[in-house]
Amino acid sequence: MTCTRTRRLAYALVGLLAGDSALLLYMLLNAFWARATLLAAHAGEPYAQAPEAIQLFTLYAPFSLVGWLLIGVPIVLLLPVRSVIRWPWPFVITLGGFLGPSAMLIILRMLGGGRIVFAGTGPLFISSILVSTVSFAVYVALLRKQLGGSS
């Protein structure tokens, strides 16, 4: 059985949605943890944590889509499917972890007018690693399911 370009792009889009869902879950879990800490300390605004996490996610999600268009789509279209489904899982996870920061560097360079400014970008890189790792792993898992690759 073969896998068409359209199906590979659909699998990659499903992977992106899974990666963004993982990012939203991570942000909400951190918000609830911060909320509990603020409630215990009787400080700050504990009830504003979850809405702020959702607002932050709405800022991060478009950038993950741009990163997917800049890095994810070319990777999906250029890598041969038969070799991708044979890769061991540690390699898939590692490669997925490198794709996010690569996309982030391209986006930062575009936004910086040719320069890359790293000030305050730590959380962005962590988020890009999470999204790209989950996205690429889901993409490879869907390919393996369809084509019967090694698990």
pLDDT at 50: 94
Task: Please name the residues in contact with 85: beta carbons below 8 A apart, sequence gap of 6 or more.
Answer: 140, 143, 144, 147, 149, 150
Mean pLDDT by 10 residues, the chain (151 residues): 88 97 96 94 90 94 94 94 94 96 90 82 91 97 85 53
- Can you tell me the distance from the alpha carbon of 89 to that of 5, in angstroms, rounded to the nearest whole number? 23
Instruction: Give the span between the Cα atoms of 130 and 97, in whole angstroms.
Output: 7
pLDDT value for 11: 97
Sign of CA dihedral 116, 119, 70, 59: negative
pLDDT of residue 145: 94
pLDDT at 1: 57
DSSP string, 30-73: HHHHHHHHHHHHT-S-GGGHHHHHHHHHHHHHHHHHHHIIIIIH
Q: Is the pTM above the cut of 0.75? A: yes
